[in-house]
């Protein structure tokens, strides 16, 4: 049994039949604070979770949705209510989005709080052409990348194109969930989304939360093995030295570990359709080597 926990916009009560049919190996659960439980949700959480869940096919998979946003994707005041829930499923491997705010490759653009979290796997994005996504946060905390620029996403109304390190995060977590016997948590948000803080520096805003969340996550014993997996199995440009860190790519790109598994193991009827956008066909799994 695989376990995927998505801390995002969904609470498990708004999952359309077509989404369930597209992930037939999954059972869905969830929770939310009483103030928003059952009310309309933003589709972001569904999109993120599906990137992970499709990678665990056909293994039975428990997907847990824990809601920290309202229907307009505005942060809820309480960003700790789920600590007991996650702790009850742990220890877990924590994955987070590197962030979508890179503006200068010479500085650290990884979003808070993951910039402060040595125990978290911060994941960046690359595009189909094999280059880092222009928006993908870069810095020493980036562990690796997957392809998350103009990709097909599972939403409430069907498949749609989207971009963001949120979905790179989901893909990496799915690879880990399938390859290692550990539950994974996906947190595809950061300070730009969590506007519940209004004073002091970013580090000061998050320091207490980071410390408390570390106790919730615990230690799976597979953290070093996962990093070794990334370094050993990820793709790197031809002029790189394997094992060296790059602020934009991290240690490697692991899109192939997600992509090739889908091609070899997921039936075509569960794939998103190939579509045409602005005159260009967008092939779901098409990609080029890294540059």
Express each pLDDT in 1-22 by its tens digit. 999 999 999 999 989 998 999 9
- pLDDT value at residue 158: 77
Query: Whole-number mean pLDDT of the chain?
Result: 87
CB–CB of 97/105 below 8 Å? Answer: no
- pLDDT value at residue 277: 46
Residue 227 confidence class, pLDDT cut points 50, 70, 90: very high
- Answer yes or no: is 251 within a domain: yes
Q: Is the pLDDT of residue 226 over 70?
A: yes
What is the CATH number for 28? 3.40.50.200
- Answer yes or no: is 134 within a domain: yes
End-to-end Cα spacing for the chain: 37
- Answer yes or no: is 291 within a domain: no
Count how many Cα atoms sit within 13 Å of the Cα of residue 148 in the half-sphere of its side chain.
Answer: 33
What's the domain count of the chain? 1
Is pTM beyond 0.85? Reply is yes
How far is residue 271's CA from residue 267's CA, in Å, rounded to a whole number?
Answer: 7
What domain range is 154 assigned to? Answer: 2-282
pLDDT tens for residues 160-170?
Answer: 888 999 999 99
- Answer yes or no: is 290 within a domain: no
Q: What are phi and psi for residue 86, nearest 5 degrees?
A: -65, -45
pLDDT tens for residues 180-205?
Answer: 999 999 998 876 666 554 445 666 77
Q: Is the pLDDT of residue 278 over 60?
A: no
Q: How many angstroms separate the most distant Cα atoms in the chain?
A: 53
- Answer yes or no: is 150 within a domain: yes
Residue 69, C-beta contacts closer than 8 angstroms, at least 6 positions apart:
8, 9, 41, 42, 44, 45, 75, 76, 189, 193
Average pLDDT over residues 266-276: 73
- Answer yes or no: is 177 within a domain: yes
Average pLDDT over residues 236-250: 91
**Pick from 125-139, 194-208, 243-257: least confident:** 194-208
- Answer yes or no: is 289 within a domain: no
How far is residue 22's CA from residue 36's CA, in Å, rounded to a whole number?
Answer: 27
- Answer yes or no: is 287 within a domain: no
Q: Where are the alpha helices (DSSP H) in the chain?
A: 17-22, 44-53, 83-89, 165-179, 202-217, 223-233, 255-265
Average pLDDT over residues 143-149: 95
């Amino acid at each position: 049994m695989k376990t995927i926990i998505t801390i995002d916009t969904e609470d498990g009560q708004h999952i359309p039949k077509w989404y369930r049919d597209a992930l037939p190996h999954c059972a869905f659960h969830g929770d939310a604070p009483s103030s928003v439980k059952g009310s309309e949700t933003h589709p972001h959480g569904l999109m993120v979770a599906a990137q992970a869940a499709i990678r665990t096919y056909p293994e039975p998979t428990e997907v847990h949705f824990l809601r920290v946003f309202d229907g307009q994707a505005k942060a809820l005041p309480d960003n700790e209510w789920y600590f007991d829930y996650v702790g009850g499923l742990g220890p877990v491997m924590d994955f987070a989005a590197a962030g979508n705010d890179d503006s200068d490759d010479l500085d650290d653009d990884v979003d808070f709080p993951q910039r402060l979290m040595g125990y978290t796997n911060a994941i960046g994005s690359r595009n189909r052409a094999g280059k880092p996504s222009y928006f993908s946060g870069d810095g020493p905390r980036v562990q690796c990348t997957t392809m998350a620029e103009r990709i097909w996403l599972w939403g409430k109304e069907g498949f749609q194109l989207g971009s963001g390190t949120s979905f790179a995060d989901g893909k990496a977590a799915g690879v880990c969930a399938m390859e290692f016997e550990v539950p994974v948590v996906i947190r595809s948000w950061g300070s730009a989304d969590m506007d519940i803080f209004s004073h002091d520096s970013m580090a000061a805003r998050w320091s207490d939360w980071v410390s408390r969340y570390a106790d919730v996550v615990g230690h799976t014993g597979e953290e070093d093995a996962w990093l070794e997996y990334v370094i050993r199995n990820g793709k790197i440009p031809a002029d790189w030295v394997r094992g060296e860190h790059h602020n934009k790519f991290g240690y490697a790109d692991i899109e192939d570990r997600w992509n090739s598994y889908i091609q070899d193991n997921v039936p075509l009827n569960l794939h998103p359709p190939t579509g045409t956008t602005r005159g260009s066909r967008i092939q779901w799994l098409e990609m080029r080597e890294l540059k």
